[in-house]
Amino acid sequence: MGRIALRGIRAHLGRFVMSVLAVALGVAFMAGTLSLRTMLSSTFDGIVEAGTAADAYVRGTQTTAGSNPMDVGASGLNPVDMAMAEQIEALDAVAAAIPETTAPVVLVGKDGTAVQSTQAPSFAIGFDADRDPTTTIVAGRAPQGADEVALEEATLKSSGLAIGDKTTLVVNGQVTPVEVVGEASLGGPMAGATIVLLDPAEAAELFAPDGRVQTIAVYAADGVGERELVDAITPVLSADSAAVTGESLRAETRDDIQEMLGFLTTFLVVFAAIALFVGAFIIANTFSMWVRQRMRELALLRAVGASPRQVFGSIVLQAAAVGLIGSAVGVVLGLGLVELARVGLQAVGMDLAGDIPLTVPTIVVCLVVGVGVSVVAAAIPARRAALVPAVEAMRDEVTTDDRSSTWRVAVGLALTTAGAGLIVTSGVSAESDWAVGALGAGTAAVLIGAIMLSPWLARVVIRWLGAPFAALAKPMGALARGNAVRNPKRTAATAGALMIGMALVAAVSVLAASVNASVSTAVETEARSDLVLQGPMTGTIPVGALDAVAGLPAVGRIDPDWWSTLLVTTDGAAPADDDARIVMGAQPGMLGGTLRPELVSGEFSALDGGQALVAQSAAEDEGWEVGNTLTLTSADGSRDIVIAGVVDTQTLGTSVIVGRDVLDELVPTERQIVDAAFVVAAPGVGVDELRAQVAHAVSPYVVVSVMDAEEFVDGLAGQINQVLAVLYALLGLSILIAVLGIVNTLAMSVLERTREIGLLRAVGLGRAQLAGTVTIESLLTAVFGTVLGLVIGVGIAAVFPRVLADQGLNELVIPWGSLGAMLALAGVVGVVAAAWPARRAARLRVLDAIAYA
């Protein structure tokens, strides 16, 4: 059995290589996903070790909010009195106790623009060179005074600055000229974060004017363990603070990061599974055709005494060999994908630590999945081969039944109908908790049902698609259509891989167009300003910039969207971490003026009376009603406030809206965020004049963008499209595998029809006509799979606005231009995929082909 399997591989090496490549591509994605996750994990573990290297930490004990969410290390606990550091450091068990002062800043690089990369934070920290053992000055010296800074080594490199250069730092909304006096190492890569070191006294004055910080880092004296250190410092702590070991804080931080990476891994593994699923079609199709081509050979094996089990085993062994070798190649390719990902991330400023990891669990998972998929995909054709009657060996031609079985059509119709029902139900009952789950289950059922129905559909659809070719490209069109229709299972299996990829791409395209249209409509409906100021992705618009704009003669009104995270509870419940919500502080006249969300109940003027408005989505989730009392809690206190109205808004990402005076009472201005500000021109001032003045006023702050409404919408759409571009790239792999499947199937189809091709050549069919026939067959197969996928994808996406209405998706837009481009792309794919098989068919020798058995 093993010898037969090996000889079969050697005899059909080209088919074996194509199958191995199919498995390798699918496994490569999975291996790359797991390795990238490991590398990200090790990078962030290094950041945790470098950023929390102290032996113990003093932090708050009470769950609170109101901290700037852009702050590094904001913990959701109350801040502690930094004066305790002196008492702690006086203890014998303590070598040093350093209050950790940090806050977001904007550093201007050599080119005059802000130094920032992707969504990594940009922040400054106070650095005490004499007492901080975790940070090392590798060149220059530590900063002294308000006009000096040191830069972390990766930040120095990305900024283009050098020691001795003068630049600008935007701190607490104020533009400050500084000189770079040193380069520092924090002990490892910082994943693209922009890190500026300040004089510790200056940092305390800027970032902790109230004398309170989130944590105090404590370093043990020689010979003192972490637990012993915690026990020693606990007696001198205040009632609202506690000490934890450095290892426990590092473990908490690592767990948080692993949770975030877990979502990313799940997200990527889903697409890896799609790639493997599509690859399984190629494997199944490959072995199905292999059985068809070798049916007489297998019958001879049965005739000379081979048992069904031996025939079955030989095929399964070949499938296992395909899976094993393909998986091994896939692991190597996966490491190459990780290296490409690392280079790409480094290009945008995110450095990943260490070598590319290749762990034993990664290898085992990839091998098990790759071999398992191959064996399962080959099981059905292997069973067919095992049951072939020995008498078939006496026939010149061995025929197989390629008709779509009644049970397959019935099951396919049932699954498709049930899936469509679930999809429609999810749209009708969009407010139910199970709506998204029903949509996912319905999508899976429709895809599987369509796969089962596709042989039957192939006969009907390809006859229609091939009619123009049959009429205009004689005799090639008729021959190609006949080849595709004569073997509908093979055609459907080949097109099925492309169908899955195109269905998902079509759904994402509809989603992208609908989201962009929904955002555009929401902004046009709710925002009524001449210009919009927008801050950086990971920071706030500096207060100085807002003040500068407000003082311009061309500005009639400016309304920033001040907000912070607060704990929001009802019925006197004790606040918990999951009660944190975004609360916006609106200036008088802002709602109903520059911003006009739909007022479901109440009046905008209620904000001026110290009451609150709540978002309709939050009210429905929490059961809030007009007249209920909310308790807003921050690090600086709490306040009860009555709900006076409900608004339906898509532009304000907030749960609760209060007056600006209420937010200021709970959170100091320096701890609030402004990511956008809406500007209205003074009477008689044109938009061009307004824009010129505003752009000049904010230019020193570097990170503030000045946009009109159209540009603002385009910017939001651009952020959405960046996220969706990742989906397109991942789905592109499944389409690549599908193209490989078409090439594989056509090449094997040419081999299967070798004798037929020889006869066609003998009766006068030219080489070009033969190549054209193969090309048209490929084109029909690709277009069939694409049309079926587009119909399914658009049908599924049609319910998105209903199911995702709470997330702001309220319009359905079908991008006909994009869908038409996909159909055209399918034609190109069909032609390109046919190039090698068509050339191979045209080069067959007529007499050898006629004699082929």
CATH of the domain at 688: 2.40.40.20
pLDDT for position 10: 61
Residue 142's pLDDT band, with cuts at 50, 70 and 90, is: very high
Highest mean pLDDT among 135-149, 394-408, 660-674 belongs to 135-149
Q: Percent of the chain at pLDDT above 70?
A: 82
Q: Does any domain span residue 764?
A: yes
**Residue 221 reports pLDDT greater than 60:** yes
**Residue 183 reports pLDDT greater than 90:** yes
Sheet holding 94-99, edge to edge: 94-99, 215-220, 56-60, 241-245
Q: Are residues 606 and 646 in the same domain?
A: yes
Computed on alpha carbons and rounded to an integer, the radius of gyration of the chain in Å comes to 33
User: Hey, what are 153's tokens?
Assistant: 């080594």
Q: Average pLDDT over the chain, rounded to whole?
A: 81
**Residue 327 reports pLDDT greater than 60:** yes
Report d(CA 771, CA 835) in Å as an integer: 8
**Residue 349 reports pLDDT greater than 60:** no
Torsions phi, psi for 589 (to 5 deg):
85, -5
- Quickly tell me which residue has 């990238």 as its tokens: 36
Q: What is the pLDDT of residues 768-798, one digit of tens each?
A: 888 888 888 888 988 998 999 899 999 888 8
The b/e string for 408-436 (b: 16+ C-beta within 10 A; e otherwise) is beeebeebbeebbebbbbbbeebeeeebe
Residue 403's pLDDT band, with cuts at 50, 70 and 90, is: low
The arithmetic mean of pLDDT across residues 835-842, rounded, is 80
Q: What is the pLDDT of residues 78-130, one digit of tens each?
A: 888 998 999 999 999 999 999 988 888 888 888 888 887 655 678 889 998 88
User: Hey, what are 595's tokens?
Assistant: 């911003």
**Residue 199 reports pLDDT greater than 90:** yes
pLDDT for position 245: 92
Q: Does any domain span residue 367?
A: no
Highest mean pLDDT among 289-298, 389-398, 710-719, 816-825 belongs to 816-825
User: Hey, what are 15's tokens?
Assistant: 């088919």
For 624, the domain range is: 531-707
pLDDT for position 230: 92
Please state the domain count of the chain: 3
Of 257, 292, 318, the residue at which a domain comes to its end is 257
Considering only 28-37, 383-392, 586-595, 655-664, which range has the smallest mean pLDDT?
Answer: 383-392
**Residue 72 reports pLDDT greater than 60:** no
**Residue 218 reports pLDDT greater than 90:** yes
Report d(CA 119, CA 765) in Å as an integer: 61
**Residue 148 reports pLDDT greater than 90:** yes
Q: Are residues 819 and 718 in the same domain?
A: yes
Q: Are residues 757 and 652 in the same domain?
A: no
**Residue 318 reports pLDDT greater than 70:** yes
Report d(CA 347, CA 344) in Å as an integer: 5
Q: Percent of the chain at pLDDT above 90?
A: 17
Beta strands 148-152 and 194-198, pairing class: antiparallel
Q: Are residues 769 and 730 in the same domain?
A: yes
Report d(CA 624, CA 639) in Å as an integer: 17
Report d(CA 243, CA 176) in Å as an integer: 36
Q: Does any domain span residue 35?
A: no
Q: Is 130 exposed, middle or buried (0-12, 13-18, 19+ CB in 10 A)?
A: exposed
Q: Are residues 635 and 515 in the same domain?
A: no
Q: Does any domain span residue 5?
A: no
The arithmetic mean of pLDDT across residues 20-33, rounded, is 76
Q: Are residues 554 and 466 in the same domain?
A: no
Of 659, 679, 707, the residue at which a domain comes to its end is 707
Report d(CA 653, CA 647) in Å as an integer: 12
Q: What is the pLDDT of residues 224-241, one digit of tens each?
A: 999 999 999 999 998 889
**Residue 421 reports pLDDT greater than 60:** yes
Q: Does any domain span residue 274?
A: no
The arithmetic mean of pLDDT across residues 327-351, rounded, is 74
Alpha helices in 169-245 (DSSP H): 200-207, 226-233
Q: Does any domain span residue 141?
A: yes
**Residue 696 reports pLDDT greater than 60:** yes
pLDDT for position 179: 94
Which tops the pLDDT comparison, 710 or 207? 207
Q: Are residues 674 and 728 in the same domain?
A: no
Beta strands 555-570 and 673-681, pairing class: antiparallel
pLDDT for position 71: 46
Nearest Cα residue to 287 out of 21, 2, 16: 16
Residue 657's pLDDT band, with cuts at 50, 70 and 90, is: very high
Q: Does any domain span residue 432?
A: no
The arithmetic mean of pLDDT across residues 510-531, rounded, is 83
Q: Are 397 and 323 in contact (CB under 8 A)?
A: no
Torsion 269-420-817-491 (CA) sign: positive
The arithmetic mean of pLDDT across residues 708-722, rounded, is 75
Q: Are residues 469 and 565 in the same domain?
A: no
Report d(CA 528, CA 508) in Å as an integer: 31
Q: Are residues 769 and 695 in the same domain?
A: no
What's the DSSP call for residue 77? B
CA dist list (Å): 132 to 126, 127, 653: 10, 7, 40
Grouping H, G, I as helix, E, B as strand and the rest as coil, residue 243 is strand
Q: Are residues 113 and 232 in the same domain?
A: yes
Q: Does any domain span residue 351?
A: no
pLDDT for position 74: 44
Grouping H, G, I as helix, E, B as strand and the rest as coil, residue 576 is coil
Q: Are residues 612 and 478 in the same domain?
A: no
**Residue 264 reports pLDDT greater than 70:** no
Q: Are residues 546 and 690 in the same domain?
A: yes
Of 257, 280, 304, the residue at which a domain comes to its end is 257
**Residue 459 reports pLDDT greater than 90:** no
User: Hey, what are 434's tokens?
Assistant: 């199970």
Which tops the pLDDT comparison, 820 or 400? 820
pTM (predicted TM-score): 0.72
**Residue 715 reports pLDDT greater than 90:** no
pLDDT for position 8: 57
Q: What is the pLDDT of residues 521-560, one digit of tens each?
A: 877 788 888 999 988 766 688 888 999 999 999 999 999 9
pLDDT for position 119: 54
Grouping H, G, I as helix, E, B as strand and the rest as coil, residue 596 is coil
**Residue 193 reports pLDDT greater than 70:** yes
pLDDT for position 6: 61
